Amino acid sequence: MPVGNVELVKLNPVKGIKIGITEAHVRYAGRKDLTVFDIIAGANTAVVTTQNQFCAAPVQLLREFIAKDSPRYLIVNTGNANAATGEDGKQRAKTTCVALAEKTAVAAEQVLPYSTGVIGETLPADKIIAGLDSALANLTEDNWLGAAHSIMTTDTTPKGHSEIVEIDGTTYTVTGISKGAGMIRPNMATMLGFVATDANIEKSLLQNILTDTVNQSFNRITVDGDTSTNDCCTLIATGQASDTVIDSDQHPHYQAIYDAIKSVMLKIAQLIVRDGEGATKFITVKVSGGKTSEDCAKIAYAVAHSPLVKTAFFASDPNWGRILAAVGYAGVDLDQSQVNVSLDDVRICERGGLASDYTEEKGAEVMKRPEITISIELGQGDATDTVYTCDLSYEYVKINADYRS
């Protein structure tokens, strides 16, 4: 069960993007597992990919392809990550791109492959290729929700968000979907995120926007600290809303579009944490007063990754000593007598010791909440950073001990 309200808003179609989904039986029968995005000619596309050295075969191919040409199709399968599959895996991914390119009369390099699922198993490329006709047959603009479902693996809920902004009489749409619940500590992007807008955004600016908003969203979530081999986040600007080309961050339309994209990114990134494997609590770790934002991020991640902190939150136990211990081993020089820690509005630690007005009752009350912000003030400077995570429950162990079996 995901944490908090995860009901999706209507995922508005983005003019210039059509989506087809089908059952290709990649791993399981009876579920949609193949998704094809059709991108209108002339759109710009930006991608960020995992920093995992064992990046999957489709990620390797995708990097080569997008450097050569402008994508016209995305082909996404679940059930098999096609990771740690060597040269054979790359060839198999390529055959699916070639097959789709032939059916749609585009270059093979204009088809980007994405895979998610179990690592280390051979991709059943033939099944994917066999499913392409069916996916192409139901291409439609209003299929984002269907796609959010069909890219799921251990996710218990589809993830998406959509915003509409009006600027100077032009209506822009930004819609995005994501997937992921475990092996989540994106180090570029989540397992899979697809965001599109009908704004006309110049290509290099689009890449900057993607990198920047991913850093504030997908790169600030963690479930278990495991950076996936298949992380990819894709941002498409179809340019169908208007002829106005947004070509710099000084453009009058820039800020509103940027904010809408960031909002969609953050929402679909946070939905991954809310659906984190076994999660019962959504935890925001906010570190302020640091010398640098890197210091703040180090501390926020140390707290967010600590199994002891995570199990204490699962147990609703205000065991704040574990938070301090994690702050202390994050690798940042600290004066512990300057450190304050609060859980929501309850100050638990003051100047490195127990807060004078703290009571176990107050701590117990705040720990019962399903969404909690841990605020850590370092008293060293003005830098801040924020990371989103969840607790560690029996269910996490169960899911990951059972998965694959």
**CA dihedral sign of residues 135, 138, 144, 148:** negative
From the list 22, 116, 175, 190, the catalytic residue is: 190
Contact pattern for a second copy over residues 22 through 61, marking x by CB under 8 A: -----------------------------xxxxx------
Site residues for a second copy, window 269-308 (CB under 8 A)?
305-308
Nearer to a second copy, 191 or 246 (CB): 191
Is 401 a binding residue for a second copy by CB under 8 A? The answer is yes
Amino acid at 260: A
Residue 324 touches a second copy, criterion: CB under 8 A: yes
The yes or no reply on residue 398 touching a second copy (CB under 8 A) is yes
Output 153 or 173, the one with its CB closest to a second copy. 153
Q: Residue 324's closest CA among 287, 365, 274?
A: 287
Contact 75, 112 (CB under 8 A): yes
Per CB under 8 A, 319 contacts a second copy? yes
DSSP 287-334: EEEESSHHHHHHHHHHHHH-HHHHHHHHTT---HHHHHHHHHTSS---
Among 42, 252, 353, 370, binds a second copy (CB under 8 A): 353
**CB of 190 within 8 A of CB of 184?**
yes
- At 228 the three-state DSSP class reads coil
As a whole number of angstroms, the distance between CA 359 and CA 59 comes to 51
Whether residue 175 is annotated as binding a ligand: the answer is no
Q: Indicate the pairing of strand 245-246 with strand 200-201.
A: parallel
Measured CA to CA, the distance from residue 357 to residue 277 in angstroms comes to: 35
Q: Give the footprint of a second copy on residues 86-125 (CB under 8 A).
A: 86-89, 118-121
Q: Is 185 near a second copy (CB under 8 A)? A: yes
Among 15, 291, 351, 362, binds a second copy (CB under 8 A): 351
How far is residue 399's CA from residue 302's CA, in Å, rounded to a whole number? 23
SS3 state of residue 220: helix
397 binds a second copy (CB under 8 A): yes
Binding residue per annotation — 190? yes
154 a catalytic residue: no
Segment 250-269, which members bind a second copy (CB under 8 A)? none
- The residues annotated with a catalytic role in the active site are 190
**Which residues contribute to the site for a second copy (CB under 8 A)?**
51-55, 81, 83-89, 118-121, 182-183, 185, 187, 224-229, 305-308, 311-312, 314-315, 317, 319-322, 324-330, 332-334, 336-337, 339, 349, 351-354, 392-394, 396-398, 400-405
